[in-house]
Amino acid sequence: PDARARIRSAIHHVMVDEFQDTNLVQRQILFALAHPSEGGRLFAVGDAKQSIYRFRQAQVSVFNQTGQEIEQVTGYAPLPLAHSFRTHEGLLAALNHLFDSLLQPLGVRHESYEARPAPLTPQRPAPPPHAIVPAPVELLLLPGKDDEGDAIRVEEARLLEARWLAERLLALHESKFPVWDKALGKYRPFRFDDAAILFRATTTLPLYEEQFKAAELPYLTVSGRGYYDRPEIQDLIALLTALHSPADDLSLASVLRSPLFSLSDETLYRLRWRMPDDGRAEEPIGYRQALLAPPPTDQAAQVAAASVVLQRLWGMIGRVEVWRLLREAVDMTGYEAAMALNDGRSGRQLNNVRKFLELAREQSSASLMDFLRWVQALRAREAREGEALRDAPEMGAVQLMSVHAAKGLEFPVVAVADLGRRERVGGSRRLLHDPEFGLLCLLRDEQGEWQKPASYQWGEWLHGQMEAAESKRLFYVACTRAADLLLLSGRASNRGTWLADTLAAWEIDAEGQAEELVEQHGFRLRVVRPAPAAPLYHQPSRVTPSESQEVMSVPPLAEPLPALARRRAFPLAQLGGEEENALRPVLYPLAGERSGSVAPHVIGALLLRLLETWEALALPPAALAERLALEARREGLVSAEESREATDRVRPLVGALRRSALYAEVAQARQRYSQLPFTLESPRGALHGSMNLLYQDVEGAWNLIAWEAQWVAPAQRESHAQARQVELACQAMAARQALGVWPQTFLCFLLPQFSVYEYDEAALEESWQTINIE
């Protein structure tokens, strides 16, 4: 109370901008400094329609409820921000009409998490129509089917869209389309840096970049955060820094707090200021010293595991390459699994980690210090390249960025691309949290399967409503970045997309004339529906007549190579949505079985680690126990009791496998490959994964084995195998492409007793043919 009173006494007025991006805790802090009941102290500015940071806990309900509280206290309703000084009258009329429709309530009335429609009044008149731009809004409706009636792949549609955007912007530049310059107070010819292309998600940007390069459209991709500033990369850089300089307590604290070790703030504080006898230290203790003689904490096991891992890594410095050091750290901490679980279906964090390991491998000759210097140089260069956009606008490059990155910016010409993109819907998360409904979780039933209780189902529905409401606001932010011309493009075959909502609001059919000018309620729209095989626009030639006469043909060796669109690569586990179980198998105990202190998923991980090297199964008992103890430590089991329990529980599982006919057959195999990585081309892009075991038996037949370390009841094994059939079909197809024959494909259940399920070759081939990943 004294501190609050002291701070309040020094602050007489508080002004908050962008108040729509405030969360509940921030509002509590704000109200502690200047409560609405204290007249004249608080002034907040914001627009509920531009609240788009729910993933950062910003709640539009906070903005709406605060407005209601202020009205109750003062008797005055919040003043709307009703004037637009950016967008001209013609374009604003179109946007007002569009979002008056889109921002209608999802239910019977507007909820606190929804923004209400509020038309804007233009402060700039519409310019006269231009010869090449007859309307302030242009819609490109890409066809969903080709000339033969077959569905056009999403990737192909995006390539067509990118080509249209490039040719349209080149045409605007060549025709000197006039745009309003605020600084000059007059119209001037369009420059490339007057345009921005916005994306809901940037995962498909490489497709567009390739087409822009081919069309010679100058562009600059603006990322909100560089690769080396990604949290997962910062974790690994901090780890290497701490290994190089053990006395660097800031880096070491970052590592301990990161998902590598997941120590809490309280544990870090106690390590810093508490002695082993729990007495307070007179001076701060270095973290390396504290790990060797830690004080009592609530995370004693995690602290001990961190100490074991770091001591081992420090001992490896100078003896192994940097990439081996990183590989050991990642394996011992389970960091890749943590990133995979954080990623959901995107795979971005996991791919970033693997890319960093590959970069380290490419620099295998560098010392740890040299590698850190090399990374620092790359990071600095990345930052300078990002700043070049602001420092040198005369470069004249079209800016590519996400809608979130464009928040607060404005451009004379804005293109919102890929409007036909479906909103990503992830699988059920174990935990749901939001101030509106609190903390909810899935529960296991008697068979160990995850189930959704009624409270979770309600929270999941409400979460979906909030996401749908924010999706509308995100589209509003994207469209209102434009001052003179708005280009909207996408494939019109998908429902529940921004494009589908736009067509419904403006009452435009997806099919119709190749090009038409539509008169609406006080505004005009230009609609373009290109034929699948026809060129969208004739790109103006930039070759002078004299040059064209001198060069009549191109020598064969000077012919440019065709531009190949980058194929998207993603984990095979995305097919079935079971990436979490694939990375961390969960073992469900038998009824009446004593559950030990070692987590079931650790037992499963130990078993799968052992099976990665087939020869390990043939080890004598003492060597096998030693190997299991080593793997147990890598899984974080540092106590002798935990290690012994894990070994005792895995040993009989290994024995059952050794006694099987499969073991005898594999032992006599002509060729055998464990954890064999592969890449497989699919209709969507490149699938990548690994085969648990591929071997050629004594008769020359090839066999593909997948391990199943989950506990599956005998009655459920067939249905479980069917659930993994698509995954196994992809593995079998990859083997077929390499070998020329379909391998016999098996799923081996390890718990509660060993058994083998054989897949039918025809069923696998049918599953492969029916894959549709979009």
pLDDT tens per residue, range 311-349: 999 988 888 889 889 999 999 998 988 887 776 555 668
> pLDDT for 475-508, tens place per residue?
999 999 999 999 999 987 667 789 999 999 999 9
Determine which of 153-167, 302-316, 704-718 has the lowest per-residue pLDDT on average: 704-718
Determine which of 240-244, 684-688, 704-708, 718-722 has the lowest per-residue pLDDT on average: 684-688
Supply the pLDDT for residue 628: 83
Q: What is the pTM of this model?
A: 0.55
How many of the other CB atoms lie within 10 Å of CB of 683?
11
Determine which of 209-213, 612-616, 619-623, 716-720 has the lowest per-residue pLDDT on average: 612-616
Residue 570 has pLDDT above 60, yes or no: no
> pLDDT for 508-523, tens place per residue?
988 888 899 999 878 9
- β-bridge pairing 702-711 and 686-696: antiparallel
pLDDT range class, residue 382, cuts 50, 70, 90: low
Supply the pLDDT for residue 99: 93
Q: Please give the Cα distance from 599 to 738 (Å, whole number).
A: 39
117 phi and psi angles, rounded to 5 deg: -65, 140
Mean pLDDT of 180-195: 92
Supply the pLDDT for residue 352: 82
Mean pLDDT of 713-722: 86
Q: Can you tell me whether residue 569 is helix, strand or coil?
A: strand
Residue 240 has pLDDT above 90, yes or no: yes
Percent of the chain with pLDDT over 70: 84
Mean pLDDT of 139-164: 84
pLDDT range class, residue 405, cuts 50, 70, 90: confident
What is the rounded radius of gyration, in angstroms, for the C-alpha atoms of the chain? 30
268 phi and psi angles, rounded to 5 deg: -60, -40
765 phi and psi angles, rounded to 5 deg: -65, -40
747, 706 Cβ separation under 8 angstroms: yes
pLDDT range class, residue 638, cuts 50, 70, 90: low
Structure tokens at 432: 């749901």
317, 325 Cβ separation under 8 angstroms: yes
Q: Please give the Cα distance from 597 to 481 (Å, whole number).
A: 56
Q: Pick the more confident residue, 153 or 163.
A: 163
Q: Please give the Cα distance from 635 to 334 (Å, whole number).
A: 7
Mean pLDDT of 544-555: 47
Closest CA to 675 of 351, 313, 331: 331
Supply the pLDDT for residue 318: 81
Supply the pLDDT for residue 585: 31
Residue 550 has pLDDT above 60, yes or no: no
Percent of the chain with pLDDT over 90: 34
Residue 32 has pLDDT above 80, yes or no: yes
Supply the pLDDT for residue 562: 52
pLDDT range class, residue 298, cuts 50, 70, 90: very high
Supply the pLDDT for residue 569: 45
pLDDT range class, residue 4, cuts 50, 70, 90: confident
pLDDT range class, residue 262, cuts 50, 70, 90: very high
Supply the pLDDT for residue 425: 52
Structure tokens at 675: 């954890």
The separation between the first and the last C-alpha atoms of the chain, rounded to the nearest angstrom, is: 56
Residue 88 has pLDDT above 50, yes or no: yes
Closest CA to 731 of 713, 704, 710, 712: 704
With tokens 């894959």, the residue in question is 771
Mean pLDDT of 606-611: 80
Domains and CATH numbers, the chain: 2-74 (no CATH), 121-218+396-418+475-540 (3.40.50), 227-384 (1.10.486.10), 571-769 (3.90.320.10)
Q: Please give the Cα distance from 629 to 602 (Å, whole number).
A: 12
In the 8-state DSSP scheme, what is residue 85? Answer: S
Supply the pLDDT for residue 387: 36
Mean pLDDT of 259-285: 93
Residue 388 has pLDDT above 70, yes or no: no
Q: Can you tell me whether residue 768 is helix, strand or coil?
A: helix
Supply the pLDDT for residue 677: 78
- β-bridge pairing 744-751 and 755-758: antiparallel
For 480-495, letters b (16+ CB in 10 Å) and e give bbbbbbbbbbbbbbbe
Average pLDDT for the chain? 82
Residue 578 has pLDDT above 70, yes or no: no
Mean pLDDT of 562-591: 41
Mean pLDDT of 429-454: 83
With tokens 């064209």, the residue in question is 548
Structure tokens at 556: 């064969």
pLDDT range class, residue 607, cuts 50, 70, 90: confident
Q: Please give the Cα distance from 523 to 504 (Å, whole number).
A: 16
Whats the size of the chain, residue-wise?
774
Supply the pLDDT for residue 533: 53
